[in-house]
Amino acid sequence: MFSIIFDHVAYSYGNRDVLDDFSFCFTAGKITCLLGPSGSGKTTVLRLIAGFEIPQQGVIKIEEGVVSQPDTIIVPPHKREVGFIFQDLALWPHFTVYENIAFGLNERKMPHNKNIITDMLDVFGISDHLKKYPHQLSGGQKQMVAIARSLVLKPKILLMDEPLANIDIEVKNNIIIHLKQLRQENPFTVLYVTHDHNEAVDIGDEIVVLKLGKVIESGNSEQIRQSGRLFLR
């Protein structure tokens, strides 16, 4: 299980400062929900951890090792042992469900067979759809494939960028149950971006509230609930 440290990180898109002197330590093995309004920097935090963006100032450490420093990526995305569930899921449309999941295993040259993939899909109850293409799946099924695709690579950190937005509550609960079950078997750190307060309280061991690139509140669900500030606005 890996902890993630942001040490005085600054990041801007053009003239707009997204993160300014941002420092925080995301605890290993916990589900941390990043909560905040649009433009508060939630997705940028995830993208910096994944190595898709480079900080302009400060350093980012994963498990004590510096992975990014100003204008330099030290550890490339595929060597950070992170999984990323994109907001648009980013399932490769020209690959079947099986190929989507096998792709990463092949690229990383991880030993695998069909059983590993079907077992993973079994957890989410979608192993019957191996030969289907993403456009032939329902919204919930696509979401499960995206999560399975990340988890099959056994990441130490799972970054989730509003992955459960726009799906019905039953499917959402189902996915959360599966995710928690998988974490019990193979613990990993989760950073979960959402703008839904209730979802954050339900899922998160810890909640971090961002506004204009700064942490304005953090703690466990109970502490956040008791502070009341967040929910009154």
Partner 1 sequence: MVREIKDFIIKYLLALVLTVLLIVPVLATLFSWLLKAGETGAFTYLNKEAFLLIAKSMLVSSLVALFATAIGTACGFILHKIRIKGSGIYSILLLIPLLVSPYIFAVAWKDIWVILMGNASPVNSFAGVIMVHTLIYFPLAILITGNALANIHSGIEDAGLLVTSFRRMVFRILLPLIRPVISTSYILILIFSLSDFSVPAFFGVRTFTVELFTQFSAFYNHDAAIAQALLLVFLCLVLILSESRYLSSAPFFAVDVKGNLSRTYSLSKNAFIVHLIFLLLIVIAVVMPVCMLLIQSLSGKQNEFLHAFQLLKPAVFQSLKMALSGAVIITLIGLLAAHLQERNHSSMSNWILLGTFILPSTVLGIAFIKFYNQPATAIIYATMLIVLIGYLGKFGFIISRIMGNGFKQLPRSLEEAAAIAGSNSFRRFFKILLPLLFPSLFTGFVLAFVLCLGELGISIMVYPPGTELMPVKIFTISANASQSLTSSMTLISFSVTIFFLVLFYIGGKVLFKKYRYV
Which positions touch partner 1 (CB under 8 A)? 50, 52, 76-78, 82-84, 86-88, 90, 92-94, 103-104, 107-108, 133-135, 149-150, 153
The DSSP bridge pattern shows strands 206-211 and 16-26 to be unpaired
Q: Tell me the closest approach of the beta carbon of residue 136 to partner 1, in angstroms.
A: 8
Q: Tell me the closest approach of the beta carbon of residue 90 to partner 1, in angstroms.
A: 4
DSSP-based three-state secondary structure for 220: strand
Tokens encoding 54: 């480079």
Which residue(s) pair with 206 in the sheet?
A: 32, 220
Q: Tell me the closest approach of the beta carbon of residue 23 to partner 1, in angstroms.
A: 25
Tokens 């971006």, located at residue: 193
Where do runs of H (alpha helix) occur along 41-151?
42-50, 97-107, 114-123, 139-151
Q: Tell me the closest approach of the beta carbon of residue 223 to partner 1, in angstroms.
A: 32
Residue 186 or residue 223: which is nearer to partner 1 going by CB?
186
Q: Tell me the closest approach of the beta carbon of residue 88 to partner 1, in angstroms.
A: 6
Tokens encoding 58: 């400060």
Residue 159 or residue 203: which is nearer to partner 1 going by CB?
159
Please, are residues 218 and 207 in contact by the beta-carbon 8 Å criterion?
yes
Residue 56 or residue 226: which is nearer to partner 1 going by CB?
56
Chain centre distance of CA 25: 16
Q: Compute the distance between CA of residue 85 and CA of residue 15 in angstroms, rounded to an integer.
A: 28
Q: Compute the distance between CA of residue 221 and CA of residue 141 in angstroms, rounded to an integer.
A: 29
Q: Tell me the closest approach of the beta carbon of residue 109 to partner 1, in angstroms.
A: 8
Residue 17 or residue 81: which is nearer to partner 1 going by CB?
81
Residue 188 or residue 224: which is nearer to partner 1 going by CB?
188
Report which residue type is found at 221: S
Residue 18 or residue 82: which is nearer to partner 1 going by CB?
82
